[in-house]
């Protein structure tokens, strides 16, 4: 990447998306209980935009997201795989990949891994436009 510019407004995000820029996201998560902090940086695969009214929405993944609710220990074991969606600088929705039971009326139960658990974080989201060299 040659140049990276932070997109600070919805208008800038929509304009740069329509110019086919390469979008990059950054999300900072903080856990008030433990004091832990994580900064996620990721390429954005899908960035939906509307010209009027001016709005955008990030929808991308899969990402590695810390699980702050686990007990202390070897921190590397406390992560989830998730997709993220956000359209505001201070809130993000994470759809976590978790085991989920599937049943049929008279059949067996299966367990699959699916993005079935939704978790909303207060966080700090930033968008960047990257120019290819």
Neighbours of 72 (CB within 10 A): 8
Q: What is the pLDDT of residues 50-59, one digit of tens each?
A: 999 999 999 9
Backbone angles phi, psi at 70, to 5 degrees: -80, 165
Q: Give strand pairing partners of 4.
A: 130
pTM score of the predicted model: 0.84
pLDDT surpasses 90 at 132: no
List, for residues 31-45, the tens digit of each pLDDT value.
888 788 899 999 999
């Amino acid at each position: 990447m040659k140049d990276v510019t932070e997109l600070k407004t919805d208008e800038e995000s929509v304009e740069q998306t329509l110019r086919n820029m390469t979008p990059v996201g950054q999300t900072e998560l903080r856990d008030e209980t433990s004091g832990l902090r994580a900064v996620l940086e990721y390429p954005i695969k899908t960035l939906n935009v509307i010209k009027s009214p001016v709005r955008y929405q990030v929808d991308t993944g899969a990402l590695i997201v810390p699980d702050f609710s686990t007990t202390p220990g070897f921190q590397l074991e406390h992560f989830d795989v998730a997709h993220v969606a956000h359209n505001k600088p201070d809130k993000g929705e994470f759809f976590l990949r978790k085991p989920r039971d599937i049943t049929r009326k008279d059949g067996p139960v299966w367990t699959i891994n699916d993005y079935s658990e939704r978790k909303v974080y207060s966080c700090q989201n930033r968008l960047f436009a990257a120019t290819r060299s």
